[in-house]
Amino acid sequence: MKIRLAEAKDIDQLVKMRWDFTIEHDVEKKVVQDQFKPFMKECQTFLENALKSNQWVIWVAEADGKIVSHIYIELIQKVPRPGRITYPFAYMTNVYTEKEYRNKGMGSKLLSTVNEWIKENKYEFVIVWPSDDGINFYKKNSYVHCTEPMEYFPT
């Protein structure tokens, strides 16, 4: 297994994995195959921009030259505060491991690498909204539940 940062050459694999991730959790079957082409274009553009930016970091784990797991991190800048150095925090999203590689420690190794990177870069904290299925994965990797944030949905 090789863990590294994603590169432009990975975009097609990352698009397909995002599609597969969505289909896997689409219990109501709202997503249909003819939606792939417009999704692919939108996702490719997002990934091209993300990989060029300093706002997004995408970590991948490879097995036999194929990406089998990934974690997306968006860095959120904070407003400076007097009397202390201000570090961004990290929003973790789109954490996914292909089915055949789950429960083999690969996701935990990838997450451990990300956690070390977070420490090295002095990011203040990481926030992630796990699915019900993902809660134990995060707990076993030293993440703790926090109180729910407040939300506003404009109508």
Nearest to 67 by CA among 97, 41, 47: 97
Q: Are 91 and 77 in contact (CB under 8 A)?
A: no
pLDDT at 57: 98
**Ranges under pLDDT 70 in the chain:** 26
CA dist list (Å): 106 to 7, 61, 67, 98, 103: 20, 8, 11, 10, 8
pLDDT at 12: 97
Q: Yes or no: is domain 2-139 CATH 3.40.630.30?
A: yes
- What predicted TM-score, i.e. pTM, was given to this entire model? 0.90
Q: Are 67 and 14 in contact (CB under 8 A)?
A: yes
Q: Are 103 and 141 in contact (CB under 8 A)?
A: no
